[in-house]
Structure formats: C-alpha cells, structure tokens
Amino acid sequence: MSLFIKKRNTMRKLLTLFCLAFCCASIISVERVSLEQLQSDWNKYTNQTVEITTPLVVCGSFYDSLVLAPERLFCPEERAIGLADGDSTMYYQLAAHNRETSICVHLRNSYYKVRTGDIVRGLKARVSGERQLVTGKSVRTRHLPQDRLPRPKKGELRVVGANIENYFADLGGYAHKKTTPAQQALKTTKLVAGLQAMHADIIACCEMQVGNKAPEMLLEALNRNGERYAYITLPLEDMDRIGGCFIYNKERVRPYEEPLSAYQDTSSHYYARMYAVGFEEIATGEKLIIGLNHFKSKRAGRGNYDTHLRRMQNKDSLLAMLPQAIARFEDADILLLGDYNCYTQEGPIQAIVRAGYSDMLPLGHAADYSYSFKGEAGYLDRCFANPSMSTQIIRVRPWHVNADWYYQHGAYKMKDKTMHRYADHDPIIVDIKLK
C-alpha cells in the first residue's frame, strides 16, 4: 500500500511539473510588441498571442468588438471635404490613417460594457489576421472621469437638441418590430433620467413617433414628480413614422403662433422632421425661433451619394423656410438644432454656413463629437445661429452621455436604469441669455 501511495505521489508531482512547464511555456510564448511592430508585419504574428506595449485608446465599442488606436479617430468628413462634394486628397489621407492605425479586438463575451475614450494598457490577445485580434478575457481599461453637466446660471435659458433614438408608443411597427413592453419601459426610464439631468427649458427632440401618443407617454413619466413640462408637435394624426417634438418647461417659456413646417405636403416622409417654433421667455418677454431639423440618414456600409442628394434637398427646404419663420413669428433670432446626418465638412453644413448661419459648435471643445460609428467620431448633431442670435449664446457643447457608451441597437440593450446610452447620439447643450 505504501508503495502504491509513493507511486501515486510521484505521478502527482510529475503532473504538477508538467502543468507548470506548460504554463511557463504559455507565458513565454506571449511576445511583447509595440503597435508599430505589429502593424509592420501582420503575417509574422498571425495565430500568436501578443502583448501590445503601446497604450491604446478605445475609439468605439460595437456589439462584441472594440476599435482601438493610439489616439481618438475622427470621421474623415469631419476634417476634410467629403467624396460626394468633390475629390478630396485629404479625405483619402485621413481614411487611410484611420484604417492603418486602428485595430479591432473581438471579445468572446458578447455583452461587454466599456467607454469610448478609455485607455487600454498591456493588451493581450491572439492575432487572427490583419488588424484583427481575439481575446477571451476582459480588457482592462482606465476609465476617464464622467462628463458632468453643470446647471445653467441664473438668467440663462437652456435649449437642447437631442436625438432620442426611435421613441415610439406603438410597438411592432416601423421602429420597434421586436421591442417588448418591458424594454420600452426601460427606454423611458433611461430617457427621463437623461432629460431631467439636462435641466433644460426647451428640448428639441428628433426621432419621436409622429402624433401625440409618444410625447404624452414620455411626459407622463417626466412629470411624475410634479407637472412642469409640456410639449408641442405638428398637428398630425398618430402614425408609424419618425417625427419630432418640442418639450418645454411651461414655467419658463411659452410657444406662440402655430409651428411652421418646411413641408406642407402631409404625404411627405419629412413633414414632421423639419419645422420651426417661436418661444417667448416668460420672465423677460424676449423671443426666439428654434428650428428642429432631422435630415435624411446615411446608409451604413453602402454608398451614400443618393442620401447625400436628399440631405442637400433638406438643406434647400430648410433655407427656404427660414424667411417664412421670421415673418410668422415676427422675430429675427433663429437657432437651428437637430440631427443633420452630416459631418462638419459635408456640403449641406457648409451651405448653411455660407447662407449666413454660424456653426456654434467651435465654442465647445476643439476636438469633439456627438456621434461615434465603428470607431470614428464626429458631429452629426448641430447648432447654427444667425447673426442676431449668435451674440446671445453664452456656451454650447455636446454632453457625452450616449456616444461614449457601449452600443447595440436600442437603448434598452443597456440593462441598467441610468441615463447612459438612452440613445445613440449625444445631446447638444446651448445656454442663452436673451436680450
């Protein structure tokens, strides 16, 4: 019996030594490389596990993948003339830079929450192909401080442009074919938390279901602790289409006159996506006109030339509407908000600037964004002002409550009840002192 025990113990020791040797070999097999070394010869490292010594920035998180690069990446059309507006050497250079400096890390866990802008150090992963890595472990990141939004100062009016990502009361239709009532309720909870945190007097909302059902459902939740907010939208029948809506603090401002739409044809898909409302500040009697605009969306992964033409048409309709708005509301101060689905250097944005409307976003951070798609950031959401309005704007900035957070289609995919990722676009916060 003792001999058997001795043999068993010996086998255990040998097995332990074998495991240790295997582990050591595995550790030794992990080669430390810089990102530059890795990018210089992908074939050399294919199917090997490497540790990247270069600190990396999370440029985007999309389903089970992370896009990483040495620095934040911006959409080429944010910095260069787009292809639809003419040949652009700089565009191609920026696109090549983004492609060549970024890597995509596929995570084994399908639901992984990480913030864009976080720093990754010592990434260990297996190289599966050019710019493609796979890891079954959680990626450690250094979180940046959360973006805090201070309250507006006394005497200031806060106006917000916010894409709220397909907020529908009716389920099973255009935008919510598979959404459950529980998911809809979670979406409402997150959205209300975000809207309350803005401390806004006026919120111009894109992607609200046309009609009254959706805004009434939202305001029921928003006013649960005391009736304060009201809404105004175009007088249309409830329908399964994306529209817009103004939510306002009725103790601070009041709308006057009927809203003006850029499209008088009710059959138009964009009838409820581009219109203007006049507001009066109750305390001072000062007025302003706010234009809510939601231009034609881009086509992910497909050619965008046809949609670019639609956005140019949207721009033409908007500019034609504005003189009518001045006449109807008898005021000269115009503020334009919304989701224009155009980056800064694209044709529709530049045409609006040439028409005399200042792009107010430079008042914010020098390099900023309101949207991120597949690792590239930029402004799709805008703030324009005519000369008389621009002098009354104190500050303007995006609030990174959405774009920096993990993305799956629909805010309800974020299981928590916080405001983060209530939609896919960041809101644009505008503080004004009317005079």
* Pair 171, 184: CB distance under 8 Å: yes
* Pair 234, 273: CB distance under 8 Å: no
Q: DSSP secondary structure string, 102-170?
A: -EEEEESSS-----TT-EE-SEEEEEEETTEEEESSPPPEEPPPP---PPPPTT-EEEEEEEEEEE-SS
Who contacts 53 (Cβ-Cβ below 8 Å, separation ≥6)? 32, 33, 34, 122
Q: How far is CA 19 from CA 30, 132, 317, in A?
A: 17, 30, 71
pLDDT at 270: 59
Which of the two residues, 31 and 61, has the higher pLDDT score? 31
- The β-bridge relationship of strands 56-62 and 334-339 is unpaired
Q: DSSP secondary structure string, 48-69?
A: -EEEE-S-EEEEEEETTEEEEE
* Pair 161, 82: CB distance under 8 Å: no
- In the predicted structure, residue 412 carries a pLDDT above the cut 70: no
pLDDT at 300: 54
Angstrom distance (rounded) from CA 186 to CA 192? 10
Q: Which of 25-39, 196-210, 250-264, 415-429 has the highest mean pLDDT?
A: 196-210
Provide, rounded to the nearest whole percent, the portion of the chain with pLDDT above 90. 61
* Pair 222, 167: CB distance under 8 Å: no
Domains of the chain: 27-142 (2.40.50.140), 157-432 (3.60.10.10)
pLDDT at 257: 93
* Pair 132, 106: CB distance under 8 Å: yes
Nearest Cα residue to 423 out of 243, 186, 231: 186
- In the predicted structure, residue 108 carries a pLDDT above the cut 80: no
Angstrom distance (rounded) from CA 47 to CA 125? 10
Provide, rounded to the nearest whole percent, the portion of the chain with pLDDT above 70. 83
- In the predicted structure, residue 302 carries a pLDDT above the cut 50: no
- Count CB atoms within 10 A of the CB of residue 161: 32
Q: DSSP secondary structure string, 283-338?
A: TT--EEEEEEEEPPPP-TTS--HHHHHHHHHHHHHHHHHHHHHHHHHT---EEEEE
333: tokens are 């101060």
Residue 25 pLDDT level (bands cut at 50, 70, 90): very low
- In the predicted structure, residue 287 carries a pLDDT above the cut 70: yes
pLDDT tens for each residue of 362-371:
765 556 899 9
- In the predicted structure, residue 79 carries a pLDDT above the cut 70: yes
pLDDT at 289: 98
User: How open is the CA angle 350-353-357, to the nearest 5 degrees?
Assistant: 155
pLDDT tens for each residue of 191-240:
999 999 999 999 999 999 999 999 999 999 999 988 899 999 988 888 88
Angstrom distance (rounded) from CA 259 to CA 243? 14
Residue 57 pLDDT level (bands cut at 50, 70, 90): very high
- In the predicted structure, residue 19 carries a pLDDT above the cut 60: no
Angstrom distance (rounded) from CA 178 to CA 6? 64
pLDDT at 23: 47
Residue 298 pLDDT level (bands cut at 50, 70, 90): confident
Average per-residue pLDDT for the chain: 86
DSSP 224: T
In terms of Cβ atoms closer than 10 Å to its own Cβ (0-12, 13-18, 19+), residue 373 is middle
Residue 271 pLDDT level (bands cut at 50, 70, 90): low
Residue 24 pLDDT level (bands cut at 50, 70, 90): very low
Per-residue buried b or exposed e for 4-39, using 16+ beta carbons within 10 Å of the residue's own CB: eeeeeeeeeeeeeeeeeeeeeeeeeeeeebebebbb
Residue 86 pLDDT level (bands cut at 50, 70, 90): confident
pLDDT at 262: 83
pLDDT at 304: 63
- In the predicted structure, residue 81 carries a pLDDT above the cut 90: no
Q: How far is CA 166 from CA 170, 241, 260, in A?
A: 11, 9, 23
Nearest Cα residue to 398 out of 369, 431, 421: 369
pLDDT at 254: 98
Q: How far is CA 10 from CA 3, 22, 35, in A?
A: 11, 18, 45
pLDDT at 146: 73
- In the predicted structure, residue 161 carries a pLDDT above the cut 70: yes
